[in-house]
Structure 1
Amino acid sequence: MANLNGRWRRENTYDAIVVGSGISGGWAAKELTQKGLKTLVLERGPMVRHLEDYPTATMDPWEAKYPQGKLPPEELKGHYPVQMRTGYAVTEYTKHFFVRDDENPYTEESRFDWIRGYHVGGRSLTWGRQTYRHSPIDFEANARDGVAVDWPIRYADLAPWYDYVERFIGVSGQNEGLAHLPDGQFQPPMEMNCVEKAFKSRAESRFPDRRITMGRAAHLTEPTEEQLSLGRSKCQHRNMCSRGCPFGAYFSSNSATLVAAERTSNLRMRPNSIVTSLIFDPAAGKASGVRVLDAETGEESEYYAKVIFLCASALNSAGIMLNSTSDRFPNGFGNGSDQLGRNVMDHHLNVGARAQVEGFDDKYYSGRRPNGIYVPRFRNLGDEGSARKDYMRGFGYQGGASRPSWNRDLGGEGFGAERKTALTQPGPWTMALGGFGEILPYADNRITLNHDVKDKYGQPTLKIKVSIRENEIAMRRDMKASAVELLEAAGFKNVQGADLGYAPGLGIHEMGTARMGRDPRTSVLNAHNQVHECTNVYVTDGAAMTSASCVNPSLTYMALTARACDHAVKAGKKGEL
């Protein structure tokens, strides 16, 4: 029996284990395997193979069972009551990339819209692909404002890793020379349409401090040799990205990082593998592996490695750590600071303005561009002109101009030639701006384990209690008013500001549950994303974030992951892990 146990342990031992295969996990897999480490990637959901497992990627509208792919209300309410809160995400075309809420429960102590996808690639298949760097003022913000704890790194520490990641994933965009929106390694930007160009010219003339640029998006517009060698190609402007892109034109784990990792022959991918906890070896004073529950068979097993990367997403990584108790860590793995599960952040949205646009009825645009315009932050930038007294930090706008197409009124009245002719004419131009605002890290915005409510695998679930405060509410008032100002400055008509309300989680940018910091007494991770109290465990997903900025965070997760992998390999060679 001892020989059998020894053989089993040898067969289940790797140089590195990565938990999760999404944005961060894919990068960890790529970097570790390319640096020579035999790496096991554990994904709780099923396999999704690039090209093979995108069942609706080329489905035409008339092939759908339901008009415009809209699922029946009873199916949405029965299986996707949380996922449907986005109002757009779960359709006949995409439902296989979102969890069924009836199978993945959690407890909302206050409303939290937890939008998830459990499968190989995770949310890298459905993310919004807006790709921006955090700026120097973002990394200095907490220290400057006396909020929470200071980041243990600065922009200069991450800048070369931003370069490295952008070159690999492919980001289309335009350099603007703004200190608060650092430029990057860009492929040619997508083109603004005629109304957006007019908006830029008119609004910037009235408000020179408010720059309008093309969105920076992880879509290939001029693929490199490396990207082409992975089987990726130029964006086709289909705007069907959330179904999975058969062209590999937008960045996903499935089309890029996992492909690169697999080509090293150092990768083992194990789907349907739910990591329930970390194993702590008290004799060695470090983590020795993870416990895994097979989602298909219910079999429990253990896997071992010298270094472990948690990349399961902010809430799930923290949940695994909270569930990893021992004599050394009675309150959760690495939780001597009592910060594990706290400081949950997101980006608040659903506030802005919309307008009608006249004078361009003879113009249209080609294709369905999967991108929009971006208005970078223009508040609280460190100068008197941008300062606000009613709130800290700032926001940006994403948006664009468009005309409704032939499917705008499929459920309307009429039929025959007259109806067909009417639908061949595009609707009127409209222009919209939607804000994305920073949420401060509040210690009582937190998750905890709920042992009274189990999932279908018998595992404890999460309780979530998160809310925005007066700082964010004051910011929302300005987000609405400033959007109205910009659209009116452009001379557009019937400008309507709106705040449609926001519940935490809806930004789908969960962050902060195992924050980085300088002091083990007030943070979970150090400057290299290592758990302070157990340095052979790295956490590089959204859990690591110390503050949120107002820009989409995925690029920062990727840069932190690449940097942490480099550190882990070098530290391992020195015997420091």
Structure 2
Amino acid sequence: MSDDRVVIVGSGPTGTIAAWTLVRAGFKVTLLESGCSFPKHLHVRLCDREIYCPYALEIRDRVTYPHFENLGDPLTRWFKAHLLGGLGSFWGGVVLRFAAEDFTQGELVSQRFCWPIRYEDLEPYYNRVEQLIGVRGGTRSVPVLPACQVSRVLDVPQEFSDLAAAAAKLDRWLVPTNHVYGNSTILSQIPSPANVGIRLLARLRRCKNFRLISNAHVTRLQLHQTKAAAAGVEYIDRQSGELCFQAGKAVVLAAGQLGSTHILLNSCSGNGVSGVDNASGLIGRYLHDNMYAAYTYDVDRPPLKQSLMSYLTRPDYAKAEPLRTTGFQIYAGALDKKPLANAKLRGNLGLAPQSLQEGEFSLLFACFGTQVPQESRHVSLHPTAKDEYGLPLLRIGTCQDRQDLETLADGRRAAEALMEVAGWQFRPKNIAIEPPGTSVHFGGTIRMHDNPNFGVLNAFNAMHDIPNVFVVDASCFTTCVEKNPTLTAMAIAMRAADFLIRNSASLP
């Protein structure tokens, strides 16, 4: 190799976790990021008391999203931005482990849905990531949701105690919403501890074996002419417009959502010599979405002094059809002549604004539903249209079918059943099923599978056909899970980096 560096593409949570792991092991790392800055807001926390804490997702209102051709639902959204920290700037910081059954449920449906890893493979990496980012949340494991390692304990709000009792009767569990917390004292321009990428970059930049190249929009892999291996990546310098090349002994793609897929599709030539061989057609296939719906209710409860949130789990695995279920983030807000605490959340999710009267109490059930991967749901390249870099425009072909809508309808019935069993009086205020992509949880288009006929990556996230190319963002997921995917993606990224460390000498 002309360069013994590892090249990482993307500065979001998974890219920086991989970089952190490799740099600490003594590897030289070059990280390429198409952005050059991040949104700055003062965050002041003093001995666990929040003095000033801006809302984590405000950045969604101030970025221009990429153009793409829509082949399915005309309202489909693709969130991507040229920012340091990547999609971590869009993350609310919810931290949930996948359960053991989340890696095995797909086998009950089809061999196509077999994850090549198990919970036991990721457990030590869950622990390491949680210790690194600092988590506040509950300490009790329930059958569908393993507990995290938390640095600060959080309980279910007392106001939700009857909801928690009702959840148990419905084969679900109401638990604290685990979230990235960070340190007890913070004085920072980084608006949220959930901006894991930006925070890790601040540490990485102090390491002599780390280099960040910003304004570097990666276009494709460049392969060796004589062996099945990547020599590095091509990228466009966004300031000069110059086409550049960065060599490396291995390439780690962490460009987020559909970004890594776009790079691999641009790298395909069909002959396996000058480009990536996609003869199986799997790159871009099996797109799935963590579907989102917002169910808002006015309820007959006393006014609150502050907003509250908890997490309502999926039902017990024995009580639900495999790969079809829902989970909820529950937000409660009461007005005292002030805006509802989750108003910005609703706006950032594209929902209609709410206006409650003084003394009212509203519950927002943020419902996240699973979607069974289908080969027909896909992303591909436009045959003629180009994006702003002169590259083929990405096309997204997905929609919510009848079964998907029924999954979300089951979620609404579960939310209302919870309040009924708890004895709460309620009335619907806003019922909204949001278009694909709203949750910013697309995945599956560069999926893991032991069988190359069903997946692009092996159990350690290396491409079956090009073993020195790794993909570590959510595009590697074999199936869709109702839980927030970010923690699991970070654990997978750390595990892949550890594998690279152990096996670097044997890479082609």
Amino acid at match of 1:299: E
- Number of residue pairs aligned between Structure 1 and Structure 2: 482
Distance 1:448 1:31 in 2: 32
Greater alpha carbon shift after TM alignment, 38-47 vs 486-495:
486-495
Counterpart residue number, 1:524: 456
1:377 is displaced (CA, Å) by 0.7
Contact 1:26/1:258, CA 8 A, preserved across alignment: yes
Task: Report if aligned partners of 1:274, 1:295 keep a CA contact under 8 Å in 2.
Answer: yes
CA distance 1:250–1:325, change in 2 (3 Å): closer
Quote the residue 2:28 is aligned against: 38
Matched, 1:129 2:93: yes
Alignment match, 2:70: 108
- Whether 1:560 aligns to 2:492 is yes
C-alpha separation in 2, matches of 1:168 and 1:56:
22
CA distance, structure 2, for counterparts of residue 330 and residue 56 of structure 1: 50
Greater shift after overlay, 107-116 or 487-496? 487-496
What secondary structure, in the 3-state scheme, does the structure 1 residue paired with 2:113 have? coil
Q: Does 1:400 align with 2:328?
A: no
Q: Which residue of 1 aligns with 2:9?
A: 19
What pairs up with 1:260-409 in 2 under 5 angstroms?
260-326=203-269, 328-329=271-272, 333-358=276-301, 360-361=302-303, 364-365=305-306, 372-379=309-316, 381-382=317-318, 386-388=319-321, 392-408=323-339
Could you tell me which amino acid in structure 2 is paired with residue 211 of structure 1? Answer: W
CA, structure 1 residues 442+235, in 2 after alignment: closer, same or farther (shift >3 Å)? farther
Look up the match of 2:173.
Answer: 211
1:460 CA displacement: 1.7
| Residue from 390, 394, 397 that aligns with 1:465 | 397
Distance 1:461 1:523 in 2: 24
Query: If the length of structure 1 is used for normalisation, what is the TM-score?
Result: 0.77
Match of 1:418 in 2: none
Q: Deviations over 1:85-113 (max 9, x none)?
A: xxx9986x7644x2x14xx3111112321
SS at match of 1:453: strand
**CA-CA distance at 1:252 after TM superposition:** 1.6
* Counterpart residue number, 1:176: 140
- Shift in Å, 1:57: 6.1
Q: 1:284 to 1:332 in 2, by over 3 A?
A: closer
Deviations 1:332-374 (A, max 9, x none): 625233110011111112143523123x24x523xx67xx200
- 2:129 aligned residue: 165
Structure 2: runs of 5 or more not aligned: 45-53, 341-354
1:447-488 deviation per Cα after TM superposition (whole angstroms, max 9, x unaligned):
111142222222221011012233322212211111111112
C-alpha deviation, 1:14, in angstroms: 4.7
Taking the aligned partners of 2:270 and 2:325, their CA distance within structure 1 comes to 43
Residue 445 of structure 2: which of 510, 513, 538 is its match? 513
What are the within-5 Å matches in structure 2 for residues 423-434 of structure 1? 427-434=359-366
- 1:444 aligned residue (353, 373, 376): 376
1:143 and 2:107 correspond = yes
Could you state the TM-score of these two structures normalised by the residue count of structure 2? 0.87
The one-character-per-residue Cα deviations of 1:397-416 (angstroms, maximum 9, x if unpaired) are: 1113221254439xxxxxxx
CA RMSD of aligned residues (A): 2.8
Larger radius of gyration, structure 1 or 2? 1
- Structure 1 residue ranges without an equivalent (≥5): 1-8, 59-68, 70-87, 224-232, 237-243, 410-422
1:481 aligned residue (390, 413, 429) = 413
Q: Distance in 2 between matches of 1:277 and 1:126?
A: 25
Distance in 2 (CA, whole Å) between partners of 1:189 and 1:117 is 34
Q: Which residue is 2:470 aligned to? A: 538
Q: Residue 196 of structure 1 contacts residue 400 of structure 1 at CA under 8 Å; is this kept in 2?
A: no
Match of 2:504 in 1: 572
Query: Residue 165 of structure 1 contacts residue 559 of structure 1 at CA under 8 Å; is this kept in 2?
Result: yes
